[in-house]
Structure 1
Amino acid sequence: MPFEIVTADVGDLHRVLDDHARYWGERDLRALHQPVIVREFGSTCLVAQAARDDTRGTGLGHRLYEAFTEAFTEAARRQGAVRLKAVTSVTHHVSVVFHRSVGFAAQAVEDYDGPGRLRVVFTRAASNAADHRTHP
């Protein structure tokens, strides 16, 4: 399935929120989709056709994330970034395995998202994302 990654705007964010359940299933992650992030970090906020419930299990999510990581790395490097960072909950095992598979180091950090909120923080050098691909 072809897709294009482009700079996001607030309208893109609203479209994802309008169809939230198709992207995230039962998990209510609407609070994580904040317009202020898009407005403040516009040049590195990217959007692509996301893996909705009708594409689960096809490998699209993995391909999207790899393409997104590559596009984000280039945008971040243009802004002078030398490191990439991602965050997930400790219970999101698929995310932990995936980020490690594309070259991120993982560390559990106590109180990262407030008191008693353990999170896994991933970091990786902002080198060429293609160096970290797990498949062609």
Structure 2
Amino acid sequence: MIFIMGIHIEPAGVADFHQVLTDHSRYWGERDLRSLHLLALVQEFGSTCLVARAPDGIRGYIFGFVTPDGTGYVHLIATRDDARGTGLGRRLYGAFTEAAERHGARRLKAITSIENTGSIAFHRSLGFDMKVVDDYGGPGRAMAVFHRDLPLSFSWP
């Protein structure tokens, strides 16, 4: 568990997963991404699915896992509407990176839609390389694919 400024970053549980879905619009606004939230990730990869917990609830979360080839894959990362711009996303990535390294990760990977300019800017600010891959999300659906080698050359706040 990581404790920073009144926020505990810790492994997500099933109840946390359900709370995130209940408060979905606080994290994702009008975009309905509930279908991307997979309970199996929390159940099977609990040490790399993390929540940032504060006295007023879950401020953010990151769900991911480590692949057999040593890639720490971030499936979802979100911060609640009242926690954006605080550096919490960066701290969640740092906590995920530490957990992924403990499980043998040598690199990080994330994916987003090419229209998601906020996510693209965020990942680039973390030093990820980005490549647009045609048909990655299915026929005619290009995706932005991010990679970053570990260890990181800077510390996370």
Contact 1:9/1:38 (<8 A) preserved: yes
Gaps spanning 5+ residues in structure 1: where?
none
Aligned counterpart, 2:81: 53
Q: Which of 9, 25, 30 matches 1:26?
A: 30
Higher RCO (C-alpha 8 Å, min separation 6): 1
CA contact (8 A) 1:103 1:132 kept: no
What stretches of structure 2 of length at least 5 have no aligned partner? 53-58, 61-78
CA distance in 1, matches of 2:152, 2:50: 17
Q: Which has the higher helix share?
A: 1
Q: How many angstroms does 1:80 deviate by?
A: 0.6
- TM-score, normalization by structure 1: 0.85
Residues 1-136 of structure 1 mapped to structure 2, 5 A cutoff: 2-48=6-52, 49-50=59-60, 51-56=79-84, 59-60=85-86, 63-128=87-152, 131=154
SS state of the match for residue 7, structure 2?
Answer: coil
CA-CA distance at 1:3 after TM superposition: 1.4
The alignment yields a C-alpha RMSD, in angstroms, of 1.8
Q: Displacement, 1:54? A: 3.5
Q: CA deviation at 1:2?
A: 3.1
* TM-score, scaled relative to structure 2: 0.75
